[in-house]
Amino acid sequence: MAKLSTDELLEAFKEMTLIELSEFVKQFEETFEVTAAAPVAVAGAAPAAGGDAGGDAAAEQDEFDVILAAAGDKKIQVIKEVRALTSLGLKEAKDLVDGAPKPVLEKVDKEAADKAKEALEGAGATVELK
């Protein structure tokens, strides 16, 4: 089996849907007995610190956070969409939706953020991109 470079891996990930990527992360965590939860929490703090440093960073923003502002009337549909976009279980997704405003996805590219926003708004949620 040929060894893939980091760039080749990143290109492969760019072609995957969010659901496929979520399933990959789950399988990766099971295979190597690790969890990706801690790095995501640490990475979530970085944009806040960097965002205060300068105004130019906002103009060239290439990573976005998808924030669930409100669930709306169709909370069950929103929970289903949150589960489809993330690797969260039913209870965790429900807690996220109930605790809105909360981030659903962090540090994703513009295309993925727009798709997630469209899916959540289609389910009746109010969504912000930051």
Give ∠ CA 63-65-67 in degrees, rounded to 5: 165
Task: Report pLDDT for 3.
Answer: 85
C-alpha 85: how far from chain center: 7
Q: Report which of residues 39 and 91 the model is more confident about.
A: 91
Model pLDDT, residue 1: 60
- pLDDT cut 90: percent of the chain above it: 0
Q: How confident is the model at residue 36 (pLDDT cuts 50, 70, 90)?
A: low
How many angstroms separate the CA atoms of 81 and 102, rounded? 14
- Using alpha carbons, select from 104, 98, 95 the residue that is nearest to residue 129: 104
